[in-house]
């Protein structure tokens, strides 16, 4: 306290004055209001940054698909008839009507853990070594423990490096033979990595009423896909996911229909890598297209990398465009078994007789 004399000689005591309770409450309310305004913007900026980083990592993988094919006479990795051939059982016929039949037993060569595995061959292609990257020359190729150890390397190490927004855990292996772990972040389309043969080499689409696509004897080759800037090489997904949000995986050597590494793509109404319907408050599609925010009413947005190496960020409905999931020249022999909103968006592209450009 200080004493001050006025002109009249009266003394006034000046006392230091602090905030009143009401003023303090007003300041707190203003700060809370500002935080509530800024948090969504900060969250949106963080999610946008994750989207960019994820797409950049994904683009590098897409470019590796190109260089691998260049070195392998245009053949695409991740197919039972290319990089996964050693894991096929005897008597598989990779050439359709070629007359050639596989004679050797199913062998794990230390690189691909499954016939559909594109990730292991890609890592080997770019020189990134992991567990069991090379089997001893005298190995029988029956090292199940080593094969699963390598799969865990994909999940626990590579998944975190490739997509920081990927925080989904597989609850169990499809046949209860392995442990829970991180979801693989990216998948290839079975339309580009399979033939139209029956499993385990293809997806058996010829003559299948629920999959009415005639791919005209397609083989997994860059020369057969069509315009690479319009065909999806890798997309974000969550395989296998059901409508309630439970995510499993299949590590069988010659699993059917893409196993843990490929799927039809978002166009198929009963696909299990981008399940667009939901029976709970957290749509399962957010596990796959995970860059639009995790609120139930927020848009599901995901990255797709095309065979020419460029990337696009699409909503879950935009990603169902049939043109990007089928090789050029594919003809739909019946109405495409796709989502109702996809048929509404692209009625001509989902109709019987449509020829994919």
pLDDT (tens digit per residue) in 298-350: 788 899 999 999 999 999 999 999 999 999 999 999 999 999 999 999 999 99
Residue 296 has pLDDT above 70, yes or no: no
Residue 224 has pLDDT above 50, yes or no: yes
Mean pLDDT of 203-217: 78
Tokens of 29: 């309310």
Contacts of 244 (CB under 8 A, 6+ apart): 279, 280, 284
Residue 59 has pLDDT above 50, yes or no: yes
Least confident among 106-110, 114-118, 208-212, 256-260: 208-212
- Residue 28 inside a domain? The answer is no
Q: What is the pLDDT of residue 52?
A: 74
Check: CB of residue 210 under 8 Å from CB of residue 287: no
Q: What is the pLDDT of residue 127?
A: 87
Neighbour tally for 215: CB within 10 Å: 23
Dist CA 281 CA 295 (whole Å): 9
Residue 135 has pLDDT above 80, yes or no: no
Write down how long the chain is: 357
- Residue 13 inside a domain? The answer is no
Check: CB of residue 87 under 8 Å from CB of residue 107: yes
Mean pLDDT of 221-231: 96
Mean pLDDT of 211-230: 92
Q: What is the pLDDT of residue 320?
A: 97
- Residue 214 inside a domain? The answer is yes
- Residue 310 inside a domain? The answer is yes
Q: What is the pLDDT of residue 357?
A: 97
Tokens of 332: 């739909």
Tokens of 71: 């070195």
- Residue 7 inside a domain? The answer is no
Q: Residue 117: which domain range?
A: 49-93+104-345
Residue 194 has pLDDT above 60, yes or no: yes
Residue 44 has pLDDT above 80, yes or no: no
- Residue 203 inside a domain? The answer is yes
Percent of the chain at pLDDT > 70 equals: 79
Mean pLDDT of 45-55: 71
- Residue 16 inside a domain? The answer is no
Check: CB of residue 306 under 8 Å from CB of residue 231: yes
Check: CB of residue 213 under 8 Å from CB of residue 207: no
What is the pLDDT of the chain when averaged over all its residues? 82
State the burial class of residue 14 (Cβ atoms within 10 Å of its Cβ: 0-12, 13-18, 19+): exposed
**3-class SS string, the chain:** CEEEECCCCCEEEECCCCCCHHHHHHHHHHHHHHHHHHHHHHHHHHHHHHHHHHHHHHHHHHHHHHHHHHHCCCECCCCCCCCCHHHCCCCCCCCCCCCCCCCCCCCCCCCCCCCCCCHHHHHHHCCCCCCCCCCCCCCCCCCHHHHHHHHHHHHHHHHHHHCCCCCCEECEECCCCCCCEECCCEEEEHHHHCECCCCCCECCCCCCCCCCEECCCCCCEHHHHCCHHHCEEEEECCCCECCCCCEEECCCCCCCCCCCCEECCCCECCCCCCCCCCCCCCCCHHHHCECCCCCCCCCCEEEEEECCCCEEEEECCHHHCHHHCCCCCCEECCCCCECHHHHHHCCCCCCCCCECC
CA dist 105 → 41, 87, 91, 101, 109 (Å):
56, 8, 9, 12, 12
Assessment of whether the complete model's pTM goes beyond 0.85 = no
- Residue 43 inside a domain? The answer is no
φ and ψ at 79, to 5 degrees? -115, 145
Domain count, the chain: 1
186 or 99, higher pLDDT: 186
Check: CB of residue 286 under 8 Å from CB of residue 273: no
Mean pLDDT of 64-75: 93
- CA torsion, points 173, 254, 272, 169, in degrees to nearest 10? 30
Mean pLDDT of 3-23: 56
Residue 1 has pLDDT above 50, yes or no: no
Per residue in 242-286, pLDDT tens?
877 888 889 899 888 899 999 999 999 989 999 987 666 667 888
Q: What's the pLDDT band for 120 if we cut at 50, 70, 90?
A: very high
């Amino acid at each position: 306290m200080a004493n001050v004399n006025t002109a009249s000689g009266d003394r006034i005591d000046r006392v230091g004055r602090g905030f009143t309770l009401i003023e303090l409450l007003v300041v707190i309310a203003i700060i809370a209001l500002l935080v509530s305004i800024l948090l969504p913007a900060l969250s949106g900026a963080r999610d946008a940054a994750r989207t960019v980083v994820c797409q950049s990592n994904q683009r590098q993988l897409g470019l590796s698909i190109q260089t691998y094919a260049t070195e392998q006479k245009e053949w695409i990795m991740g197919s039972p008839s290319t990089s996964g051939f050693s894991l096929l059982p005897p008597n598989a016929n990779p050439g359709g009507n070629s007359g050639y039949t596989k004679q050797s037993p199913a062998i794990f060569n230390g690189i691909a853990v499954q016939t559909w595995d594109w990730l292991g061959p890609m890592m080997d292609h770019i020189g990134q070594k992991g567990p069991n990257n090379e089997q001893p020359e005298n190995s029988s190729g029956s090292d199940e423990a080593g094969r699963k150890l390598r799969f865990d390397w994909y999940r626990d190490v590579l998944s975190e490096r490739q997509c920081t927004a990927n925080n989904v855990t597989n609850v169990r292996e499809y046949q209860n033979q392995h442990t829970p772990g991180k979801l693989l972040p990216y998948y290839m389309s079975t339309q580009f990595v399979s033939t139209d043969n029956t499993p385990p080499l293809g997806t058996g689409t010829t003559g299948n009423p629920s999959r009415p696509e005639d791919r005209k004897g397609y083989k997994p080759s860059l020369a057969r896909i069509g315009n690479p800037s319009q065909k999806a090489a890798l997309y974000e997904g969550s395989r296998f996911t059901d409508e309630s949000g439970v995510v499993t995986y299949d590590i069988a050597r010659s699993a059917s229909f893409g196993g843990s590494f490929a799927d039809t793509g978002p166009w198929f109404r009963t696909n299990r890598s981008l399940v667009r319907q939901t029976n709970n408050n957290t749509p399962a599609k957010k596990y796959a297209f995970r860059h639009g925010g995790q609120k139930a009413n927020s848009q599901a947005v995901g990255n797709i990398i095309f065979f020419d190496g460029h990337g696009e960020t699409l909503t879950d409905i935009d990603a169902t465009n049939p043109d990007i999931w089928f090789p050029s020249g594919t003809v739909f022999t019946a109405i495409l078994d796709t989502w109702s909103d996809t048929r509404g968006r692209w009625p001509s592209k989902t109709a019987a007789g449509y020829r994919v450009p």
